[in-house]
Every structure is written in structure tokens, then in C-alpha cells.
Amino acid sequence: MTSSRPNPTDVAGALFDFALRPSQVQAADAVAAGQDTLAVLPTGSGKSAIYQVAGLARGGLTLVISPLIALQRDQLRSIAGRPYGDRTINAELLNSSQKVHERRETLARLEKGELDFVFLGPEQLSNAETRAAITNVTLFVVDEAHLVSEWGQEFRPEYLRLTDAIAEFGRPPVLALTATASPPVQADITRRLGMRDAQLVVADFDRPNISLSMRPTQPSKPEARAVDDRCVDVLIQHDTPALVYALTHARCEALADRLRLDAFRSAPYHGGMTAAARAQVQDDFFAGKLDVVVATSAFGMGIDKPDIRTVVHAGVPASIDDYYQEIGRAGRDGEPAVAVLVHDPRTIRIPRLLAARTHLGEETVHLVVDAVENSPRQATLTELTASAGVPAHAVERVVNELVELGFVGVTGSGHHRVVECEQELTPPAELADQLVDLDRRRQAVLTSRIEAARGYAESTRCRRAELLAYFGENYTPPCENCDNDRAAHTTEHQRADVSGGAPVHHRLWGDGQLLSQDEHELLVYFPSVGYKHLTASTISSGILQPR
């Protein structure tokens, strides 16, 4: 039977004055044909065009789940009112920033089937009124999909309940979009979203116009001053506009102050600032009123400023996933840009400390499980927190794990969410032990991600090959556009192909995936313990074997 739906390529021709890239076409074709699809495309490669084209090709309503209100607004501006055939495209937002009458109008248009696209945060799907108004969903889009993964940039528990919403809306095709997902994160995304036989589209991760380098600090100086001095040196030597990523709110403030003393128009940006203050910094940066924004990873998601020339990291980030996405904000216009990692070994304690804060501990897990077991069939998170006598974030973490394991359900939003226990938690002690094991595994992987980022900073091999290997992409060095290649540190044995993707088995850690190798070192990901740098002798000794 022939489909009457328009071809995605024809839709793109009617919408844009440019042709889609092959990766965009591949993803849009798969989604338009009704196939679940995960598209991992570098920052600036046009992920939004995929759902715009596929959504119009499928007809009906496209729901776009997006984590930030600022990002939702950008996405709305890119499609609302755009001419398409003999009509214009109808799109709306649905979020907490709307006034009451605006929300009512959007819900009314949804009920009448007047909208082509709706952009909303995942927490909106916990609202019964919202879910009742949504009908005829033909495409379910999860933007910044790495947020659904526990190994992603900043895990968002609201994303855990998207599978329920997908089922409630009649199981439309799911399109997951992200700019940063290593193979383990890709697998986690498809699993947590319940995607069926997902088409995986991974575009070339290489951004050859971005020069990669590391600049060490002077260890004789105090840590903060050493990092700040080196960051200033780097910015003096390179062009602006520039982004500097710092590890804490305090470092953002201090370094922005220091840069102002050096005649840079600079401002901090972090989660401790008011929403209005953050919006002002963002607007000023876009308008060219600022040379430098010093930010935590809170800045930049979905932000499209094409002329950023320099990205500096004031210390090793928590993972290469974070690092890749953040440097990807440079040079989106295709012109030369630089990414400089300022490395002081002393700063590694900060991401380690942040990772350690996510550790629950055996006693905490048992207390929360007991509180759930002894509570009524329905209890709010606030009630469970009071009953367990542990911090609210710990209760939320354990409840999220119980939701994923299928022991409890959750309705509502925020701390007023209601936990519904559908079955007996028997035996609770055994279940708590299972959660403790999961927590230990998560800590091992988080620690390994930090060590992988430090390994990248301290590597003497081609940085592009190192970076791309982490994402499972083969690259033959040298790139001649990184500090190690320019300094001729790369010897012949280091120029060997960095090939990855092969499944392997370790005697102690079980199954894994080889990401990169040379004559001396291997980088392997093991689900049980995370990322591990191993000597090449582990193969000849039989400790690590192909499978």
C-alpha cells in the first residue's frame, strides 16, 4: 500500500532554502516511516530540522520534550508561523512561565487539534489537565535526550516517566536527539525510553575547525590563582566572543571579576543567579555586549551563537561527554575556533566531590525502603522524607530507582508527587541490598568518567583521536590541529589507528567495549566498572579477550 504522506525531502524543500545533510535525511526518513530513532548529531548540525520535517511529513501533533524554557522559546521561534504550502505552521509552548489565560488558550487549541507542534518540559506531562488535552500525537520527540541517561550530563528524574506518557498517547514513533552520547549512553537512552528496534543515526563527531589543546598551570602558585592566571593568558592570546567553563559558582564569580580587571567585558552565569540575571547575561552575550561569559555547565544548552571563537575549561570537567558538548559551542559558523583545557591536577577534587555527593550509602537506602514499605499505599515524597529521616534528594533518588524496577508508581510533580506502592516490597532488606549494589556501580562509573577526562587532559597522543574514540568513532591521527601533534609529541607507534567498537570480555569485569587502542594502551568501557585505561599486555596475557 502506498503512503499518502509527503516525502521528508519534499517537506524540507518547502520549508528551508537549504538542503538537509545526509544524517538529517536518514533520521527524518526513519521517523517519517514510523521507526523509533536516536540521532546523535554534533552541536550545530541541525537536529531541530529533523523533527520539523518528520513531524510535518507525518501530520498530526508533534510533541517536543525540551528541558529548558529558554530552549523551548528558541525552538518555537524557529518554526511558529513559518509558511508551509498554503498555510502557516501552528506551534505553541506549554510551560510554567505562561500566564493562566495563555495556558488555557494553548490547552484549548490542543483539544481542538489546531497545533502542529507543542514544546514543553517533561514535568508538564505529570499534569492531568495537560495530558487530557493532548490528542492525535503522531511524533514524540525527546530533545537533549542524554538527560534521560544516568550516565548522561545531568540526569533528570522527570524523564523517567516519559515512557508512561508515550504509552498513554498511543505509542507514536519516538525521536531522541542529543549532541553528546558515547555508546554506553546511547544504549541507556534507548532502554529508558522503551524504544523499539531503534534506528541509530550517529553523525561525524569531528569538528576539524576547532583546535584542541591543554595548557598546564604553574604548580608553584595557589590553585585558584594558578587557574585564573592561565585562563587570562589564554583569553589574551585568542579571539572573543569566548566561553569559560568553571567548576563552581564561586569560581565563575571570581574569574569574571578578574577578567574585568583585565579589560574584558565579562559576566558570570550559574544556577545560583536569579532567572532574570541569567537571562540578561545571555541576552548581552548574544547582542555582543560581553566578550566573555564565565559559566558552569548550566550555560549553553541549545544556545546557537555561531561566532564563539574560544572555549576555555578552567579545570577538568566531570566527563568527556560534558567537555565535547561544551567545546561544540565554538565555531558553529565553520570558521576557525579554539578549545583550551586549563589543567591543574589539584582541581580534579571538585568533580570527584560532586560525584561523591550523589552516593547514597547503605544506611540511607535501607531507611528509605523501610519508609516506603511502612507507608500507606499512597504517600507524598515529603511524607516519605519525614518518615525516613534522610535528605529529600536521597528519597527522590531511591524512589526513582524503585519506579524503574517497577515496584512503585509516581504521579504529580515536585515534592508533592505521590508514590503509589502497587505491590509488597518483599523482602525489603533484599531489595535495599540490590539498590545499594546499583549505587556502588553508579559511583564506579562516575569515577571512571572523571578519570577518562583527566586522561584526555594529560594525554600526549593526538587529542582529536582520543576525543573521538571515546564516542566510538575511528580516527587516524595525526590531526595536525591539536597541541600534541603540533609539538611533534606523536611518535610512529602513537600514529596507529585508534579503532574501537569491538566487544571484549575481561576476566574480572565481564563484558565490555573497546573504544581505542595503540601499542601501549587500551580504553575500554565496562558496564560494571565504567571506563578503564589498560595496558596492551592485558590482551597477550589473556585477561582481556575478544568476544
The predicted structure's pLDDT at residue 491: 46
Look over the chain and give the mean of its residue pLDDT values, rounded to a whole number. 83
- Three-point CA angle 235, 238, 239, nearest 5°: 105
CA distance 468 to 519: 18
- CA distances (Å), origin 54, targets 9, 66, 94: 9, 17, 21
Torsion sign over Cα 230, 233, 239, 243: positive
Return the CATH number of 8-202, one of 3.30.70.2700, 3.40.50.300, 3.20.20.140, 3.40.50.2300: 3.40.50.300
Residues of the chain with pLDDT under 70: 1-4, 17, 44, 150-157, 298-304, 357, 412-416, 422-426, 488-501, 518-520, 536-537, 540-541
CB atoms within 10 A of CB 35: 17
| 8 Å CB contact between 166 and 65 | no
SS3 92: strand
- CA distances (Å), origin 452, targets 18, 290, 293, 346, 504: 39, 33, 26, 16, 19
Joined together, the cell numbers standing for residue 452 give 577518562
- CA distances (Å), origin 100, targets 71, 75, 97, 103: 21, 22, 9, 5
CA distance 72 to 93: 7
Same fold across 8-202 and 362-426:
no
Closest CA to 478 of 454, 500, 489: 489
The predicted structure's pLDDT at residue 414: 58
The predicted structure's pLDDT at residue 100: 87
The predicted structure's pLDDT at residue 300: 61
Helix residue ranges, H only, 182-222: 183-192
Contact residues for 343 (Cβ-Cβ < 8 A; gap 6+): 214, 215, 216, 217, 315, 316, 457, 458
The CATH class of the 362-426 domain is mainly alpha
Pairing of β 266-269 and β 292-295:
parallel
Domain layout of the chain by residue ranges: 8-202, 205-356, 362-426
Kindly report the length of the chain.
Answer: 547
**Domain at 205-356, CATH homologous superfamily:** P-loop containing nucleotide triphosphate hydrolases (3.40.50.300)
- CA distances (Å), origin 126, targets 175, 246, 373: 20, 34, 24
Joined together, the cell numbers standing for residue 305 give 551563537
